[in-house]
Structure 1
Amino acid sequence: MLDIKALIQTMIEPLIEFPEDFEIKVVEGEEFTEYHLHLNPEDIGRVIGRRGRVIRSIRTIVYSIRQRGQKRSKIIVQDDATDQLEDE
């Protein structure tokens, strides 16, 4: 079985300046497996890229490696500010 979390980590780590703040949380749903990327606010722009090109490319790779019968994947980019807003 493919380790999608490791694949995402391998693609993201070279892009960021604060790897100590990078974390991937996996949330299993009925239809999707969600990969929540928690990043330092300064790294979010690098991961998203101009007009979303970088994150779109990463999503395309992750979506394309899904095996038959496996749940679909979603990648969600989050930062500490987003988490604080959701908690309030």
Structure 2
Amino acid sequence: MVDIGSLIQAIVTPLVTQPEAVKVTAHETGDYMAFDLAVAPEDVGRVIGKQGRVAQAIRTIVYSVKSPYNKRVRLNILDASHAE
């Protein structure tokens, strides 16, 4: 099984200008295993991409991986100033 948090980190780190600000946290909700991706505020646009294409590509990869959880996986993209 793949550690989904590490997968997200490996995909996003090369895309951003401040890789030390990339943080992935996981929490469980009623229906989902949610992963919050926090990046520096100036890197949010790089992670989302034009018309959300980069974010959609990241989500496609993450959602297609066999999950060790019995729930669906959800990826939320935040800037570091709004992260917990």
What's the counterpart of residue 42 of structure 1?
Answer: 42
Any stretches of 5+ residues in structure 2 without a counterpart? none
> Runs (4+) of structure 1 moved beyond 3 Å?
66-69, 80-84
Instruction: Tell me the SS of whatever aligns to 1:46.
Output: helix
How far apart in 2 are the matches of 1:68 and 1:10? Answer: 18
Any stretches of 5+ residues in structure 1 without a counterpart? none
User: How has the CA–CA distance of structure 1 residues 68 and 81 changed in structure 2, closer, same or farther, with 3 Å as cutoff?
Assistant: closer
Question: How many equivalent residue pairs?
Answer: 84
For the pair 1:72 / 2:72, whether they are aligned, the reply is: yes
Report if aligned partners of 2:41, 2:80 keep a CA contact under 8 Å in 1.
Answer: yes
Report if aligned partners of 1:37, 1:76 keep a CA contact under 8 Å in 2.
Answer: yes
TM-score by length of 2: 0.87
For residues 14-43 of structure 1, the C-alpha deviation after alignment (integer angstroms, 9 at most, x for no partner) is 000111111111111232111101110111
Which stretch shifts more, 67-76 or 50-59? Answer: 67-76
What's the counterpart of residue 20 of structure 2?
Answer: 20
Aligned-residue Cα RMSD (Å) equals 2.0
Higher Rg of the two aligned structures = 1
How far apart in 2 are the matches of 1:52 and 1:38? Answer: 16
Identity %: 39
Q: Which amino acid aligns with 2:2?
A: L
TM-score by length of 1: 0.83
